Amino acid sequence: MERNTYINRMTDLLSDSLTYKKLKNDPTRQITSKINGLAKSWRNKDIISEQLFRLLNCTNGNLPRCYGLPKIHKDGSPLRIIVSTLGSPLYNMANFLHNILVKSVPKPESYIKDGWSFVELIRDVRIEDDDVLISLDVTSLFTNIPKDLVLQAIKNRWNHVSNETKLSLPQFLSAVDLILSSTSFSFNGQIYEQIFGSPMGSPLSPILADMVMEDLETKCLQMLSFPVPFFKRYVDDVFAIVPRLKVDEILTVFNNYHNRLKFTYELEKDGSLSFLDTMVIRENNLLLTDWYRKPTFSGRYINYFSNHPFKYKINIIRNLVDRAILLSDTRFHKNNLSEIKKILSNNCYPNKVINRYINIRLNELRTRHNNSNNSNSDSLARDPRKFITIPYVKGLSHNVGRTMRDAEFKVLLTIPKKLDCIIKKGKDKLPNLKQTELVYRIDCANCNAAYIGQTKRHLETRIKEHACDIRKNSDNHSVVSKHRLTHKHDFNWQQPKILYKERQFKKREISEMFFIKKCDSAINLQKDTENLPANYNRVIDAT
């Protein structure tokens, strides 16, 4: 998509005055103050620990930025607005509330975990001749969930929620209200506020939307003049079996629940209806399923000759076999396996590899129970070993991984270069001085001296501290100030260089020492690199 087209389409979406409004000033400071004040009051009342307070208390938050994600499976590929809240003052508080709700709120009767569980649920369902298959979809659910329904949903479940928190109901509701009332973000240099709903991109949004949808379906199903034989929901997608003559009634009741929550629908065609990644097919009074690929399915997977670990490629074959077999009735298995071979062949997988690993996976499926909980690749969360991540380097990572496995570590390989380093999401670029969690360098303006440091906070905050240190009436000046005083030099305060970005403190500290060692003109003290492991010296010498 051309950038001008992207900007225009996003601007059109953000011009919805019922959902968004433009702001003249950045509200980050005010939002940060409210979040920190709330966290401080909880700590002072011994509701949260000092450790949790430090997590919730924000000292380096940035204004969220939004971008548009195309819905490629829909006509015209409309954009979905995503508000990236990671690193904002709201993120940790929203995540804290999300964790409480997820742990405490029971799953609704209509809950579907994924396509695998849907197939298990529908396998023994019978459908009458006068019934019809129907799917319902809420239009832009997250941005249309009303705050009053969210707060009421929490009240309805407080007997469960209260078991997971020391917060009182008014305190919890106040925190949720603050999150929902403080969604501001930037796009293309303009600051906006979301005045309705909850943004897609906030950790809190999915569970709030799910509770509102559960209350909606509970009330609406009770209002119908007929029983619904089968009703299951995955987030905002509903699959149901209803009497053929009652389709209009269910649409009317559901669409009248709230003026912001509107449903579109699709009826079965020629006795079949797609839902998630399955095609549900009626045969006599029974329902069969087959693996379904959307019309926009490209068949593109990791190319066999790409720079990825071989086990990643094997897992692609395993997962495709799982879909072809476990989402489908046996009569479709042969055609699905043929389709898999075509897909893999188009991605340059050799026939020998294709046939070997398809057969291995088929044998595995034959020798175990057809249990949807482990029908995918084995869950890493159940592995009792500790995890360690290392970058994938062909010919080297395998040997390192084998050594770590002998030491009872589970090795996860990361790919250093991905497409997202080339293809950007369309978010506003964060200015260097607003960046956080990094290793930086400031150069002397009068000689080749340089200072290298690391900080969790905004870079501009740390730079100001360096610049102001010289004003202290003390002999205990920093090395930067000593260089300025001794040589009558100054530093390029407006042009600090970001050398590396790293969220974890220990890794960031090691990176700082690494760059200090590499820089011959660094004025850092010798003690700044004393804790650098000796093995890194070989790496430094080789670079």
pLDDT of residue 410: 76
Tell whether 167 and 251 lie within a shared domain.
yes
Total number of domains constituting the chain: 4
Tell whether 398 and 438 lie within a shared domain.
no
| Mean pLDDT across 272-292 | 94
Count of alpha carbons within 13 angstroms of residue 204, beta-carbon side: 30
Give the DSSP H/E element, type plus range, for residue 272.
strand 272-275
pLDDT of residue 78: 84
Tell whether 204 and 349 lie within a shared domain.
no
Is the residue at 361 inside a domain?
A: yes
Reported confidence tier of residue 10, pLDDT bands at 50, 70, 90: very high
pLDDT for 236 beyond 50:
yes
Is the residue at 349 inside a domain?
A: yes
Q: What is the DSSP code string of 345-386?
A: HHTT--HHHHHHHHHHHHHHHHTS---GGGSSSPPGGG--SE
Tell whether 331 and 472 lie within a shared domain.
no
pLDDT in tens, 64-103: 999 998 887 777 788 899 999 988 999 999 999 999 999 9
Tell whether 109 and 236 lie within a shared domain.
yes
Q: By mean pLDDT, which of 163-172, 209-218, 314-323, 364-373 is the weakest?
A: 364-373
Query: Strands 409-414, 386-391: parallel, antiparallel or unpaired by DSSP?
Result: parallel
Whether 79 and 70 have beta carbons less than 8 Å apart is answered as: yes
Is the residue at 271 inside a domain?
A: no
Tell whether 410 and 525 lie within a shared domain.
no
Tell whether 125 and 96 lie within a shared domain.
yes
67, 72, 74, 77: CA torsion to nearest 10: 50
Is the residue at 89 inside a domain?
A: yes
Tell whether 116 and 183 lie within a shared domain.
yes
Tell whether 67 and 200 lie within a shared domain.
yes
In the chain, pLDDT over 70 holds for what percent of residues? 92
Q: How far apart are CA 113 and CA 108, in angstroms?
A: 11
Q: Is 505 helix (H, G, I), strand (E, B) or coil?
A: helix
What spatial distance separates the first Cα and last Cα of the chain, rounded to whole Å? 39
Is the residue at 276 inside a domain?
A: no
Q: How far apart are CA 314 and CA 311, in angstroms?
A: 5
Who's near 267: CB < 8 A, 6+ residues apart?
132, 133, 134, 247, 273
Domain boundary among 206, 232, 266: 266
Reported confidence tier of residue 422, pLDDT bands at 50, 70, 90: low
Q: What is the DSSP code string of 433-445?
A: GG--SEEEEEEBS
Is the residue at 288 inside a domain?
A: no
Range of the domain at 411: 387-416
Is the residue at 286 inside a domain?
A: no
pLDDT for 373 beyond 50:
no
pLDDT of residue 315: 94
pLDDT for 381 beyond 50:
no
pLDDT in tens, 478-505: 899 999 999 999 999 999 999 999 988 8
Tell whether 492 and 440 lie within a shared domain.
yes
Tell whether 471 and 329 lie within a shared domain.
no
Is the residue at 277 inside a domain?
A: no
Tell whether 136 and 176 lie within a shared domain.
yes
| Mean pLDDT across 312-333 | 94
pLDDT for 378 beyond 70:
no
pLDDT of residue 476: 81
pLDDT for 215 beyond 70:
yes
- Both tokens of residue 428? 């506003």
Domain boundary among 242, 266, 290: 266
